[in-house]
C-alpha cells in the first residue's frame, strides 16, 4: 500500500554533531506542504522505521505540522526516535499526559517556553534546542551563570549554526551538540589542507582511471597509501554497493567493476579524505549529496547519468576541501562536461538537481517543492530519494 503521507510533506535532513565532530544522529525535518486528507503519524513512523530500525542509529524528528505532531505524540515511536517538541506545545496542559506517556523516547524541548513548563515535564526533556540567534549565553562572560548561582538542569543542543567558528563557540558555551551544516567558513578555518598525501594520490588515481591506464600502473599508485586502499575496499564491499561477491584487491575491483564504476568510488574517497576534524560535516554532506542526486535520477536516468550526478554531488564541496575555486580545481581533476557546467557555471541539466539537494540540507520546504516541480518530480519521489539516501549512507558508515 502506498504511503500517502510522503505525497504531502517535504523531508529534509541535517546532522547532529557532538563536540568530537562525530555525527551522533540525523535530524529529519517534516514540513506539511499539501493539504489533502489528514497526515497520519503511523505512516510517517513506518517510513522512518525502514531507515532507522529499532536498535539502529538515532533520528530526531522535527515535525513542522502541529496536527501531525499531536498525532505523533499519541503514537508509539521506536525507542531510537527522538522527538522535538516545540515549547508552546509542551506548555499546553492538554499535552501533558501524552508527553508523559513517551517513556521510551528521548524528548527535546524546542525553543524558549512562553510560560512556565509544568514541573512534572521538566525531567522528561533530556535536552533543549536553542537557536543561536536566541542564545542568551552568548552575552555571558565565562563562568558568569555559575557565579550568579544559576543552574541549568537540561543540556542544550545549538541550532542555527552555519560556520566552524560558530560551532566552536557553541561548544565553548557548553552545547552537547549542534544541528546543521557548519561549512560556510570551513576553508579559512582549516587552512586549506589540499596538500595531504592521500588527496594527491587520489587526484592522480582519478586522472589515470579516466585515461584507462594499465591496471599495474594504477595499483602501483594506490600502494603509495595503504590506508586509502583499505578505505576503497571497505566502501566497495559495503551493503550500499550491492555486490554479491567480496572484492579482495584493487586489481580485482578494476576487473569486476570497470573503470567508470570505479571512478565514482574514487570520487567518494576524494571527498572524504581530509584528516581535519572540522571537515567532517563537509565530508558527511558530500557523501549524502552524491547519493541523493543519484537517487533522484534512479528511475529516469541511464547508468551514465546516474554515475555523473553522483560525482557532481560528491564533488560539489571540493572547493572547500581544497581551498580553490571550481574552475581552477577541475583543471586537474577530470569530470564530465555536464558536471563541469553544474559546478563551475551553475548551469546545465544537473544544476537543478544540485539546487534541490542544497534545499533538502537547509530545510527550506518551499524551495524543495519549487525545484521538484522544475524537475517534474512529485514530493513522493523526492521523499523516497531522501529516505533511500539516508539508508544507503548508514550502510557506508
CATH assignment of the domain containing 155 = 3.20.20.450
126 plus 12 within the same structural domain: yes
Residue 323 lies in a domain: yes
Residue 187 lies in a domain: no
155 plus 222 within the same structural domain: no
Residues 156, 173: Cα–Cα separation, whole Å: 10
Residue corresponding to grid cell 588527496: 199
Residue 188 lies in a domain: no
Angle at 130 between CA 44 and CA 76, to 5 degrees: 25
Give me the percent of the chain exceeding a pLDDT of 70. 89
Residues 215, 249: Cα–Cα separation, whole Å: 12
Assess contact for 267 and 290: CB atoms under 8 A.
Answer: yes
Do strands 177-179 and 9-18 pair parallel, antiparallel, or not at all (unpaired)? antiparallel
Does the pLDDT value for residue 20 go beyond 70?
Answer: yes
288 plus 373 within the same structural domain: yes
Instruction: Using the Cα atoms of residue 41, residue 44, residue 50 and residue 55 in order, give the sign of their dihedral.
Output: negative
Residues 391, 159: Cα–Cα separation, whole Å: 24
21 plus 51 within the same structural domain: yes
Give residue 37's pLDDT band: very low, low, confident or very high (50, 70, 90).
Answer: low
User: What pLDDT shows up at residue 228?
Assistant: 72
Domain of residue 382 covers: 197-396
320 plus 392 within the same structural domain: yes
User: What pLDDT shows up at residue 131?
Assistant: 93
The grid coordinates listed for 55 are 536498535
36 plus 89 within the same structural domain: yes
Return the half-sphere exposure (C-beta side, CA atoms, 13 A cut-off) of residue 165: 5
Does the pLDDT value for residue 134 go beyond 70?
Answer: yes
247 plus 272 within the same structural domain: yes
In this predicted model, which residue has the larger pLDDT, 22 or 222?
Answer: 22
Averaged pLDDT, 344-373:
93
Does the pLDDT value for residue 152 go beyond 80?
Answer: no
Out of 182, 213, 242, pick the residue that ends a domain.
Answer: 182
Residue 36 lies in a domain: yes
Residue 66 lies in a domain: yes
21 plus 143 within the same structural domain: yes
Residue 287: strand, helix, or coil: helix
Residue 239 lies in a domain: yes
Residue 276 lies in a domain: yes
Here the CATH number for the domain that contains residue 241 is 1.10.3210.10
Residues 320, 193: Cα–Cα separation, whole Å: 10
User: What pLDDT shows up at residue 250?
Assistant: 73
79 plus 201 within the same structural domain: no
Residue 191 lies in a domain: no
Averaged pLDDT, 307-319:
91
Domain count of the chain?
2
Residue 396: strand, helix, or coil: helix
Give me the percent of the chain exceeding a pLDDT of 90. 40
Residues 271, 313: Cα–Cα separation, whole Å: 10
116 plus 214 within the same structural domain: no
Out of 182, 210, 234, pick the residue that ends a domain.
Answer: 182
Assess contact for 237 and 285: CB atoms under 8 A.
Answer: no
Instruction: Identify the CA nearest to 159 among candidates 127, 122, 118.
Output: 127
Out of 131, 153, 182, pick the residue that ends a domain.
Answer: 182
Does the pLDDT value for residue 148 go beyond 80?
Answer: no
Instruction: Identify the CA nearest to 290 among candidates 317, 321, 312.
Output: 312
User: What pLDDT shows up at residue 186?
Assistant: 62
177 plus 201 within the same structural domain: no
Does the pLDDT value for residue 253 go beyond 70?
Answer: yes
361 plus 305 within the same structural domain: yes
Amino acid at each position: 500500500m502506498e504511503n500517502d503521507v510522503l505525497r504531502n510533506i517535504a523531508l529534509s535532513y541535517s546532522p547532529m554533531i557532538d563536540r568530537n565532530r562525530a555525527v551522533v544522529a540525523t535530524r529529519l525535518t517534516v514540513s506539511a506542504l499539501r493539504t489533502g486528507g489528514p497526515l497520519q503519524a503511523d505512516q510517517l513512523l513506518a517510513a522512518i522505521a525502514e531507515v532507522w530500525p529499532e536498535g539502529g542509529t538515532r533520528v530526531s524528528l522535527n515535525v513542522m505540522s502541529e496536527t501531525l505532531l499531536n498525532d505523533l505524540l499519541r503514537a508509539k515511536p521506536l525507542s531510537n526516535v527522538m522527538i522535538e517538541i516545540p515549547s508552546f506545545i509542551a506548555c499546553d496542559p492538554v499535552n501533558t499526559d501524552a508527553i508523559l506517556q513517551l517513556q521510551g523516547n528521548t524528548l527535546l524541548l524546542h525553543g524558549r517556553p512562553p510560560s512556565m513548563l509544568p514541573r512534572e515535564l521538566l525531567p522528561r526533556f533530556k535536552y533543549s534546542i536553542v537557536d543561536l540567534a536566541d542564545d542568551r549565553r552568548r552575552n555571558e562572560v565565562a563562568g558568569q551563570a555559575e557565579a550568579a548561582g544559576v543552574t541549568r538542569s537540561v543540556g542544550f543542543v545549538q541550532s542555527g549554526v552555519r560556520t566552524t567558528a560558530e560551532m566552536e563557540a557553541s561548544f565553548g558555551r557548553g552545547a552537547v551538540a549542534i544541528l546543521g551544516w557548519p561549512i560556510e567558513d570551513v576553508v579559512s578555518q582549516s587552512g586549506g589542507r589540499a596538500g595531504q598525501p592521500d588527496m594527491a594520490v587520489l587526484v592522480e588515481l582519478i586522472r589515470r582511471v579516466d585515461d584507462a591506464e594499465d591496471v599495474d600502473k594504477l595499483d602501483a599508485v594506490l600502494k603509495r597509501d595503504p590506508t586509502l586502499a583499505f578505505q576503497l575496499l571497505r566502501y566497495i564491499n559495503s551493503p550500499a554497493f550491492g555486490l554479491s561477491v567480496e572484492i579482495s584487491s584493487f586489481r580485482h575491483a578494476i576487473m569486476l567493476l570497470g573503470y567508470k564504476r570505479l571512478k565514482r568510488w574514487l570520487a567518494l574517497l576524494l571527498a572524504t579524505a581530509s584528516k581535519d576534524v572540522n571537515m567532517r560535516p563537509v565530508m558527511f554532506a558530500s557523501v549524502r549529496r552524491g547519493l541523493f542526486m543519484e537517487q533522484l535520477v534512479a528511475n529516469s536516468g541511464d547508468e551514465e547519468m546516474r554515475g555523473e550526478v553522483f560525482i557532481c554531488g560528491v564533488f560539489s564541496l571540493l572547493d572547500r576541501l581544497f581551498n580553490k575555486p571550481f574552475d581552477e580545481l577541475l583543471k586537474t581533476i577530470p569530470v564530465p562536461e555536464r558536471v563541469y557546467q553544474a559546478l563551475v557555471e551553475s548551469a546545465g541539466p544537473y544544476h537543478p538537481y544540485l539546487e534541490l539537494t542544497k534545499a533538502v540540507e537547509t530545510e527550506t520546504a518551499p524551495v524543495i517543492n519549487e525545484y521538484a516541480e522544475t524537475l517534474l518530480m512529485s514530493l513522493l519521489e523526492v521523499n523516497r530519494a531522501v529516505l533511500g539516501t539516508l539508508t544507503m549512507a548508514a550502510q557506508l558508515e
